[in-house]
Structure 1
């Protein structure tokens, strides 16, 4: 019997490692399948975005990044760390690639409703050539007994924050940015793309992509501050990214998927990824 156990345990370990790697590759393959050529927006789009930005937005959340992060945020994941400094809130996922326990997510303690505008300064601090940073917008649970609408009721389930625990069980918009490489020589230098998770469809990431993919943006070099503004208004999702050298606007229609109008905002780092966040602001439209 002892000999049998000694042979069985290594085999189980190999199987678990294979499963974890397969989950990551499945996520990357879904990302790769929907990445296209760089899209361009018209002058009319830029004018529409500026009109939206000038609406009567009222600030409902603010974090400079320099004070105690626990006042405003709740963390998924046991391995990632958050440190406050005069430079901002330093969010660091765990250091082990391919170990799903080393992902992390920071969630706002409060939820938001309706049209929202999110802005923050983002400075990448890692030098990774792979993996993704994600903004979750208006996130809630799928609404079942196991995964209630309030995601904090099942936070323990995400102590090891596998990607599938999010796209399988949450209603949320997802924007990948500062996203690098997919393990292929011809992969884009970086990409920005959006999704709307469909948890009750039980199709993992299939069908979640919002049309409009942006590749080789030239943004998000290590140590370079970027100002990011995201607006969810009616059935459109907007993202504007600026640094000292360039500014670019991105846009996705959400009309192809069920609307989301309530939930928390989250900052996700896949393993090995880290960044500084400063002056995180959420605004809602005043009635």
Structure 2
């Protein structure tokens, strides 16, 4: 092998080593940047509300509907709607005592304790009254109106984001026929109940099996709604673009069970962005 050939080989090796070194430096820099970004993102969220759901539920929640039962234990807060199907008096909604303004992240453990293949569980995010007639912005001003928690009393008179999950049609025999669906309240002269739906809907999710615990994480801004569900050995993620105009920006969080539905909730937490107000101590 000539000297020229050897020099060309060494030149090629130096080029390869140089390229590998450059990739290593870039990779480390990218990782540092990623770590910093994740850290900064985490710092944006401040814990505002916390309930382990193992003690006195009335300290942090109030109830619409008089036929529900709520029992707390070390396993969490088992919330059961009334047992009679198709009777509006057997619906129920649990509301946070506290109201939340701005972007919000909600986390909790959810375990179905029913075996129904009909009816719906709902999460209400940031609910207020529409502000006309008796329907004051503060929904506690018209609690009595909701003693029988007919669904129309909510979508006609509240401004909120509604998410149906662990949900089935009211006529159904297929245990796999569940869905996720989002709506933005209220109904108006221009917006019908069907018009309130925010696409897309997701069907046959394979989630929310009875007696399986799922970690639910919701993030809602004026523009987006995101959901991550972790449980049963898998993580699934969903997203929606919220309608523009008159955004939902403040209000209470509600857990609605249609008649016959039941679930346990544990470690319920609400985070807000850039909130300086310390969250109240709610450990029980």
Q: TM-score range by the shorter chain?
A: 0.7 to 0.9
CA distance in 1 between partners of 2:245 and 2:227 (Å): 18
- Hey, what does 1:69 align to over in structure 2? 57
> Contact 1:241 / 1:247 at 8 angstroms: preserved in 2?
yes
- In our comparison, the structure showing a higher alpha carbon Rg is 2
The CA RMSD measured in Å over matched residues stands at 1.9
Identify the residue that residue 254 of structure 2 maps to in structure 1: 266
CA distance in structure 2 between the partners assigned to 1:213 and 1:55 by the alignment: 32
Shift of 1:258: 2.6
In the superposition, the TM-score normalised over structure 1's length comes to 0.79
The residue that corresponds to 2:25 in the other structure is: none
Aligned to 2:225: 237
Residue 85 of structure 1 is aligned with which of 42, 52, 73? 73
2:213 maps to which of 215, 225, 230? 225
Hey, what does 2:200 align to over in structure 1? Answer: 212
Equivalent residues of 1:122, 1:227 under 8 A apart: yes
Whether contact under 8 Å (1:181, 1:188) holds in the other structure is no
Q: CA deviation at 1:200?
A: 3.7
- Normalised by the length of structure 2, the TM-score is 0.79
Q: 1:260 & 1:130 partners in 2: Cα distance? A: 29
1:155 CA displacement: 0.6
Matches within 5 A, 1:132-281: 132-183=120-171, 189-201=177-189, 203-256=191-244, 258-281=246-269
- Structure 2 contact 117–174 (Cα < 8 Å) conserved: no
CA distance in 2: counterparts of 1:95 and 1:155, whole angstroms: 22
Q: How many residues align?
A: 238
Q: Distance in 1 between matches of 2:39 and 2:91?
A: 37
| Change in 2 beyond 3 A, CA 1:208/1:93 | same
Structure 2: state its 5+ residue gaps. 1-37, 276-284
Change (3 A) 1:150 1:162: same
User: Residue 89 of structure 2 is aligned with which of 87, 101, 105?
Assistant: 101
Q: Is the 8 A contact 1:195 1:208 kept in 2?
A: yes
Q: Is the 8 A contact 2:45 2:273 kept in 1?
A: yes
- Match for residue 128 of structure 1 among 94, 98, 116: 116
Q: 1:270 to 1:109 in 2, by over 3 A?
A: same
User: 2: CA distance between counterparts of 1:52 and 1:93?
Assistant: 41
Give the conservation status (yes or no) of the 8 Å contact 2:47–2:270. yes
Q: Which runs of 5+ in 1 are unaligned?
A: 1-49
* 1:163-187 Cα distance to aligned partner (Å, 9 max, x none): 0100011000001000023425789
User: Could you tell me whether the CA contact under 8 Å between 1:116 and 1:283 is conserved in 2?
Assistant: yes
Give the drift of 1:242.
1.1
Structure 2 residue 37 is matched with structure 1 residue 54:
no
CA pair 187-169 structure 1, distance change in 2 beyond 3 A: farther
- Paired with 1:187 and 1:198, the residues of 2 have a C-alpha distance of 31
Contact 1:181 1:187 (C-alpha < 8 Å) held by counterparts? no
Q: 1:215-246 deviations in whole A, cap 9, x for unaligned?
A: 10000111000000000123001111110322
